Amino acid sequence: MQRLILFLLGFLSIMLILLVALWFVVTQPLFLTEEHGSPVEVDARRLEKHVRVMAERFAPRDYTHVKNLDSVASYIRREFEQTGGRVSEQAFEVEGNTYRNVILQLGAETEERIVVGAHYDAAREYPGADDNASGTAGLIELAHLLDDSDVPMTVELVAYTLEEPPFFRTERMGSVFHANDLQERGIQVRMMISVEMIGFFSDKEDSQHYPSSFLRLFYPTEGNFIVVIGDLGSLSEVRRVKLSMDRAMELPVYSMNAPPDLIAGIDWSDHLSYWDRGYPAVMVNNTAFLRNVNWHTENDTPERLDYERMAMVVQGLYEAVLDMAQE
């Protein structure tokens, strides 16, 4: 009996150690962080304006509405041109139509760069306010913030198109064309950040869902946080971005590192295009359909977004980019 008890205690101890190790690897906990606060202000009203332009004036933004996509690309370009950066476009052809990525380079001209990207197209004929006018609006405001900063290396902000079906996870995504171009030119990328759905939050109990009930042991049940996502090969990148964002904003920031084959959604955005080409990349996200029940529906509209918390995310992104650029 004594041996059995010792065996059970040993087994439970090993299981506890494994559980703690799993928790540490998956969630990247932060134990000691500096006081929250950002040196920059982000205007929530400007974020809402950008979202409404895309989700109302130029909707729908699916691949069949090329004219609307061109109008959004021109709008983004005009915003980028208000900075002192270097603006360009990457045109590519898919199924007989020409589509455009809009690119802004800021900071000192260096061989290595940081890439921050968001897709401006939307699924089907839906408004796509959160997915992904929110991420694109954040990208635009990030451009203005970085323009006022002394960034010691090249930061490349890219607004992509064709992230949504039917081109999702195919070689015809706008981000694939951009990543291929970087690879073909031998450009070094210190980090790529995909900004994917950053506008929807909820304080309601059980408003946050997970692909596995097991994850509820590690994460909140309220959808009132932002998350940094990566695979098991991007542990350090996720932790660096998470730490920078946590230091800059009051909004809670969590993270997840897991194999894409095990946890659905880990590679569901433009960062996949960079992983496939060997570049380090993470996604900043509000967990999409696991929180926002309006995802890919006609109800994904501007009035359902929380622009104050969205502004906090942009503060966090700004801090993360500066921290990485100054390493």
Q: Give the confidence band of 264 by pLDDT, cuts at 50, 70, 90.
A: confident
Q: How far apart are CA 9 and CA 14, in angstroms?
A: 9
Per-residue pLDDT band for 9 (boundaries 50, 70, 90) equals: low
Neighbours of 261 (CB within 10 A): 9
pLDDT at 217: 84
List pLDDT tens digits, range 38-58: 679 999 999 999 999 999 999
Residue 23 has pLDDT above 60, yes or no: no
Q: Which residues contact 52 (CB under 8 A, 6 or more apart)?
A: 302
C-alpha span between 23 and 219 (Å, rounded): 10
Longest dimension (CA), the chain: 77
The arithmetic mean of pLDDT across residues 105-115, rounded, is 96
| HSE toward the beta carbon, residue 322, CA cutoff 13 A | 21
Question: Which pLDDT score is estimated for 19?
Answer: 60
Q: Cα 281 to chain center, whole Å?
A: 10
Contact 281, 193 (CB under 8 A): yes
Residue that wins the pLDDT comparison between 4 and 233: 233
Q: What pLDDT is attached to residue 216?
A: 87
Scanning the structure block, which residue is given the tokens 């990030």?
142
With pLDDT > 70 as the criterion, what percentage of the chain qualifies? 89
**Residue 252 has which token pair?**
């809670």
Return the pLDDT at 6.
65
- The closest alpha carbon to 303, from 204, 197, 200, belongs to 200
**CA–CA dist 300, 327 (Å, integer):** 38
Q: What was the pLDDT predicted at 11?
A: 62
Judge whether residue 225 has pLDDT over 90. yes
In this predicted structure, what is the pLDDT of residue 171?
Answer: 97
| Cα distance between residue 60 and residue 120, in whole Å | 11
Q: Which residue has the higher pLDDT, 71 or 29?
A: 71
pLDDT score recorded for residue 18: 59
Element at 199 (helix H, strand E): none
What distance in Å separates the CA atoms of residue 265 and residue 136, rounded to the nearest whole number?
Answer: 20
Provide the pLDDT confidence category of residue 200 given band limits of 50, 70 and 90: very high
Averaged over 302-306, what is the pLDDT? 98
Residue closest to 134 by CA, chosen among 319, 313, 320, 318: 313
Q: Give the confidence band of 166 by pLDDT, cuts at 50, 70, 90.
A: very high
The helix-helix angle for 44-52 and 135-147 (nearest 10°) equals 130
* Of 111 and 15, the one with more pLDDT: 111
Percent of the chain with pLDDT over 90: 83
The CATH code of the domain at 34-325 is 3.40.630.10
Helix axes of 307-325 and 235-248: crossing angle, nearest 10 degrees: 120
Name the H helices within 129-234.
Answer: 135-147, 174-184
Per-residue pLDDT reduced to its tens digit, 202-211: 999 999 999 8
Average pLDDT of the residues of the chain = 92
- pTM of the full predicted structure? 0.92
| Structure-block tokens of residue 289 | 């359909």
